[in-house]
Amino acid sequence: MRNLFLLLALILPAVPAFAQESAEPSPAQPDRRADESSYAEPERVVVRHLALDLEVDFDAKRLAGTADLTLEWLDPEADTLVLDTRDLDIERIEGRSGDARWRKLKYTLAERDPVHGQKLTVATPARPEHVRIRYRTAPEASGLQWLEPSMTQGGKLPFMFSQSQAIHARSWVPLQDTPSVRFTYEATVRTDPALMALMSADNDPEAERDGEYAFRMPQPIPSYLLAIAAGDLVFEPISARAGVWAEPAMAKKAAAEFADTGKMIEVAESLYGPYRWGRYDILVLPPSFPFGGMENPRLTFATPTVIVGDKSLVSLIAHELAHSWSGNLVTNATWKDIWLNEGFTSYVENRIVEAVYGREQAEMEFVIARNGLIAELDDIAPQRQALAPPPLGEGEDADGALSSIAYDKGAWFLQFLEQRFGRETFDAFLRGWFDAHAFQSVTTDQFRSYLQEHLLEPNPDTVSIEQVDRWLYAQGIPPAAPKIVSERLQRVDAARQDWLEGRKSLSELDTDGWITQEWVHFLAGMPETLAPQQMNELDAAFRFTGTANGEIAQRWYPLAVRSGYFEARPAISQFLKRIGRRKLIMPTYEALVATPDGHRFAEQVFISSRPGYHPITTMSVEALLERSRGDAE
């Protein structure tokens, strides 16, 4: 999953001041496969296959049907099956082996935990091969969003989509909701014949709308990659094995923006081996989607906020495609090792961007990401600055593991290895890692051992295991980290300073040909506040207020709030109502709640915006508003 430009990019020196490292790297955890975010017991019994039969009920905002679990019993003494659920209405559970008839099984549903949901324990003294659970989801399921027709682009038909990462799959399927368990799946989905249903499986580009759809995923995946959607969706091809699903008014525009997807696939294959998932299609969701993208295999879910007309934000597609190797193919076994997904993917993303769009754009994106990481370090607890941090504590949500440490420090570490060993050697090593661990869930300990055996020992006196451990287990960024400089962003810095110091007017700045990354850097480097006249000049020259580019809006509106530029408030209100992507809107909410007047405005906007927000976004805004009320008191 990628939030493009994950953090606010701040201007830092060309050689940043690194956070202080701990004196001694922490030792590896003795068992990093233990998943603190799941009740499941996969060491005793593991789900190998899932068969879903679901009805999509837009009126009730529920999925209803059955989940058939095919089990492999590993512990001959086991007599229970423990599953993860959240707010599911369990109607009946049955079990059977072979061709025997289904027999009712007893079960208990534990008290609801606010983070992890409810532990479902099924009594299975006969250790059946199959368990069938009949259930219904709750209308407020955290992993599903139900949109009224008025909230869609077409305005005539409803829309539903899922977001299972990190631990939201349990809100719409009862299962072992841990990335350490991989399973194949099949599904039958029934919905209004006017709607097209899709899943993270073998979607047929030529499928006709008939109200009943069958899906099959033959490669084993972890639960967070389960995905479903239904809406007024049409297909637009990009290449022989890639295309776009979107609402009719968006499909051709999205296909044009993502036209280089076929090239991206070819680049990734040339570096890291064949794409092993069949087709690679993209589903463009309504703007309420809470993230930039989600790497659901065969069907990336993507925000429409990256479709800006100049391909400057399509590195998000490079990121989600890269997950086809790092994350989907080789998966972190638990969320505390999420850097094995996101750090690797951010590194591979940048390699794809460099090959398709050039080294300059790749450098700009690296600099922006790393500036944001350095700026955020002071706000991250020291133990959470390690790539392989300690286990999640009591009450900690796995969503919190998805930080810039996992993405940007992880990618920085891999670039350090590339720089030291050389691209040719490191590319071969990384391809070998993917091949050796394909369709497996892995830990940092496994990567460390593989790295030592296949890269460090064959190339002695290049990188020591102590240097590796500083990256993996210590806080901050090691002093030996590669320093990336972007000449284009340095010119942006100079232009900004020329204006701020009065040497040039805005009309005299050479901004022709600037792409999103340069505008983002230009705004992010502004002082904390500007004078009213400066804000007026910027807006008159560049028309930031009302911009359709969410990345620019993410930087401009917080600056407008902090600077008291009330002229932007109507546009801020519309932006916060129209967009549900957390990364784009949270900085503006955070700026607003810093003052009593802004807090009142934020509350009013949230009340009107809430019906169109995904539950994940709603929870984030609610938590911010509640926290700021407490701070004010």
- Consult the annotation and say whether 581 binds a ligand: yes
Rounded Cα gap, residues 149 and 155, in angstroms: 5
Q: Is the pLDDT of residue 23 over 80?
A: no
Topology at the third CATH level for domain 39-138+168-177+181-203+212-217: Immunoglobulin-like (2.60.40)
pTM of the predicted protein model: 0.92
Q: Is the pLDDT of residue 357 over 80?
A: yes
Average confidence (pLDDT) over 504-511: 97
What secondary structure, in 3-state letters, does 37-100 show?
A: CCCCCCCCEEEEEEEEEEEEECCCCEEEEEEEEEEEECCCCCCEEEEEECCCEEEEEEEECCCC
pLDDT value for 25: 44
Instruction: Give the three-state DSSP class for 206.
Output: coil
- Consult the annotation and say whether 116 binds a ligand: no
pLDDT value for 24: 42
Q: Which of 135, 224, 407, 589 is catalytic?
A: 407
- Consult the annotation and say whether 165 binds a ligand: yes
- pLDDT single digits (tens) 221-257: 999 999 999 999 999 999 999 999 999 999 999 999 9
Element (H, E) at 442: strand 440-442
Q: CATH 1.10.390.10: which residues of the chain?
A: 321-473
DSSP for 423-440 reads HHHHHHHHHHHHHHTTTE
407 in active site: yes
Average confidence (pLDDT) over 27-34: 68
Which CATH code fits 321-473? Answer: 1.10.390.10
Q: Within 214-358, where are the H helices? A: 248-257, 261-272, 315-322, 339-357
- pLDDT single digits (tens) 305-328: 999 999 999 999 999 999 999 999
- Consult the annotation and say whether 291 binds a ligand: yes
Q: Which residues contact 625 (CB under 8 A, 6 or more apart)?
A: 589, 593, 599, 602, 603, 606
Q: Which of 186, 236, 320, 349 is catalytic?
A: 320
Rounded Cα gap, residues 317 and 305, in angstroms: 12
Q: Which residues does residue 575 pair with via DSSP β-bridges, in sequence order? A: none
Q: CATH 2.60.40.1730: which residues of the chain?
A: 39-138+168-177+181-203+212-217
Q: CATH 1.25.40.320: which residues of the chain?
A: 526-632
208 in active site: no
Rounded Cα gap, residues 232 and 207, in angstroms: 13
Between residues 504 and 378, which one has the greater pLDDT?
504
Residue 623: HSE in the Cβ half-sphere, 13 Å Cα cutoff? 8
Q: Is the pLDDT of residue 4 over 70?
A: no
- Consult the annotation and say whether 294 binds a ligand: yes
Yes or no: domain 526-632 corresponds to CATH 1.20.1420.30: no
Q: What percent of the chain has pLDDT over 90?
A: 86
For 529-542, b where at least 16 C-beta lie within 10 A, e where not — what string? Answer: ebeeebbebbbeeb
- Consult the annotation and say whether 521 binds a ligand: no
- pLDDT single digits (tens) 65-102: 999 999 999 999 999 999 999 999 999 999 999 989 99
- pLDDT single digits (tens) 456-469: 999 999 999 999 99
CB count in 10 Å sphere of residue 188: 16
- Consult the annotation and say whether 295 binds a ligand: yes
Instruction: Give the three-state DSSP class for 162.
Output: strand
